[in-house]
Chains A and B, each alone.
Chain A
Amino acid sequence: MSDAIAVHLAPPSPSVPVVTERRWVRRLTIAVALAFLFLFVILPLAVVFVEAFRRGWGGYLAALQEADAQAAIRLTLTVAAISVPANVIFGLAASWAIAKFEFKGKSLLITLIDLPFSVSPVVSGLIYLLLFGAQGLWGSWLMAHGVKVAFALPGIVLATIFVTFPFVARQLIPLMQEQGTAEEEAALTLGASGWRTFLTVTLPNIRWGLLYGVLLCNARAMGEFGAVSVVSGHIRGLTNTIPLHVEILYNEYNFVAAFAVASLLACLALLTLALKSVLEWRHGADLAGGAHR
């Protein structure tokens, strides 16, 4: 219907402001919007880099090369390397089951998948402590058998998986639902196996949406603070991820180092935004159906 309208609509004529505001109103609105974004978004971003380079390149690199920082970077990469693929596999399985089949309780399942989004990060950490912590449900059993989950890598990974749980699935479910099952059925009738159909038909169709979901999932996995903070125990050089290391440095009044390490995460965020925007501009249609988040 909007196409039909667009065809016979003339471009707006400047002296007859029927479908827009007066010029000064437009300019004022733009100015206020930009000022607001400048104050609340641009300045915080800028201050990260300015503070990080307060002592020049030398100070910046020194902060990043320090042993604890290196350990934090390694830990963050490890956590992301485990939790992102785990959520990708889950996202693919869930969206396949939800988009290609009809079953009872589907909308409940979708709601449950979204659940972690509405849980405070701190609570996300807490629930794992309730299971695995010293006072937790299985804490004493785990301790007796020498398995460390809380205040160790497994706990950090679990909490990260929890907070990034919906990203991939949420992106893929609407996309796969929109694409339907016709192409897969065609491939199957041509004799392709189910797995082959998935690899050669489904995956190419959803690749941009998948990439989009992975980007957001990864950004959050590497940047998660609250949940990880609760389960990690803040053991320097052992269970400190980059965001936790930032906190420690900041609380020690080592601002340059804190902002230097933080700038790594800020760069990750900028890279994520840039790739996300490129995906939206280039492949907007292939992402369609996907809610913004």
Chain B
Amino acid sequence: MPGFGITLGYTLLYLGLLVLLPLGALIAKASGIGLSGIIAVAVEPRVAAALWTSFSISLVAAAVASLFGLLVAWALTRYDFPGRRIVDAIVDLPFALPTAVAGIALAALYAPNGWVGSFLEPLGLKVAYTPLGIFVALVFIGLPFAVRTVQPLIADIERELEEASALLGASRWRTVWSILLPPLLPGVLTGFALAFARAVGEYGSVIFIAGNLPYVSEIAPLLIVIKLSEYDYTGATVIATIMLAISFTALLVINLLQAWSRKRFGYV
């Protein structure tokens, strides 16, 4: 088989120049700042607040997206209803729709005079320009990840397992709870981690709806942009480094989770 040298060489060169070198620049810059320098920036009240906003809302949004993602995946896979295929395709929209478009659309929807916002306003519920708006945007962004990681697992459920459970006397509810859902857990957690990793770094769909009030609804990626516009490369680098560390931890957790599941139960 020919072409090994040239294809691998090109792959490594391209990867090295376009991905590893720039990431290396970030790491170089961060190590130039040093751990104490990083901590000094991270505890600045505005930076700490932005990191907290990003991580806490991302966690909640990823959890909600996972929950509804499971429900949507279940309905799409187990039940038949008119338009199922189209709905199935629509699930990927948050992934395909450019984030800026999603951002202005969500802002328009949930603004006090928007289609949804005008319903919520009388209830005293403000979504746009509050942390709740960030939450809405991040649920939107996380949904496809949550659905698509559990969907194949639901499709793979063996019918005989449900029959076996019913034959042993279990009610339908019990069968769903004890037999069908537990094997989906690794998938749900993987989807959660993916949605979380994506949500933490999300920028475009959030900034329009967030209101971007420092200490309240300012997300970490936005603060990087602000620091950059102030030519504070050090501050930007520190926040970026912390965010990278968190997403890589999330990915590591995913991998460990899948390895554990495969080893123990023989499936992912």
Contacts and interface: CB of A to CB of B under 8 A. Distances in A.
Complex A–B touching at CB under 8 A: yes
Interface of A: 2, 5, 9, 17-22, 26, 29-30, 32-34, 36-37, 39-45, 47-48, 51, 89-90, 92-94, 96-98, 100-101, 103, 109, 112-113, 115-116, 118-123, 126-131, 133-137, 158, 161-162, 165, 181, 184-185, 188, 194, 197-198, 216, 219, 222-226, 229-230, 242-244, 246-247, 250, 255, 258-259, 262, 265-266, 268-270, 272-274, 276-277, 281, 292-293
Contacts of B2: 188, 194, 197
Contacts of B140: 40-41, 44
A233 B8 CA distance: 35
A133 B234 CA distance: 13
Given A30-B79, A293-B148, 18 more contacts: A5-B159, A18-B163, A19-B162, A19-B163, A20-B79, A47-B114, A92-B7, A93-B8, A93-B14, A119-B244, A120-B243, A123-B244, A130-B233, A135-B231, A225-B99, A246-B100, A247-B100, A259-B104
A29 B3 contact: no
Contacts of B1: 100-101, 181, 184-185, 188, 194
A128 B25 CA distance: 8
13 contacts: A33-B71, A33-B72, A40-B94, A97-B3, A100-B3, A109-B11, A119-B247, A134-B231, A165-B19, A188-B2, A219-B96, A230-B228, A259-B104
A161 B243 CA distance: 21
B98 A41 contact: no
Given A33-B72, A113-B15, A123-B240, A225 B22 contact: no
Interface residues of B, number: 93
Contacts of B201: 119-123
A127 B90 contact: no
Contact of B204 (A19, A36, A194, A225): A225
Main secondary structure of the interface of A (DSSP, over half): helix
A292 B155 CA distance: 14
Nearest to A48: B105
B154 interface: no
A96 B3 contact: yes
Interface string B188-220: 000000000100111110001000000000000
A118 B25 contact: no
Interface centre among A5, A40, A185 (most CB of B within 10 A): A40
Contacts of B260: none
Contact of A90 (B10, B101, B197, B248): B10
Interface of B: 1-4, 6-8, 10-12, 14-15, 18-23, 25-26, 28-29, 68, 71-72, 74-76, 78-79, 81, 85, 87-106, 108-109, 114-116, 136, 139-140, 143, 148, 158-160, 162-163, 166, 172, 176, 197, 200-204, 208, 221-222, 224-225, 228, 231, 233, 236-237, 240, 243-244, 247-248, 250-251
A37 B177 CA distance: 24
Contacts, number: 283
A118 B197 contact: yes
Contacts of A258: 104
Given A39-B116, A47-B105, A97-B7, A29 B74 contact: yes
A225 B203 contact: yes
Contact of B76 (A33, A229, A242, A269): A33
Q: Which of A17, A123, A219, A268 has the most CB of B within 10 A?
A: A123
Nearest to B149: A292
A171 to B, nearest CB: 14
Given A44-B105, A118-B247, A230-B228, A36 B68 contact: yes
Contacts of A44: 97, 102, 105-106, 109, 140
A101 B8 contact: yes
Contacts of A112: 15, 19-20
A35 to B, nearest CB: 10
A127 B23 contact: yes
B91 to A, nearest CB: 7
Given A18-B162, A126-B228, A130-B22, A265 B247 contact: no
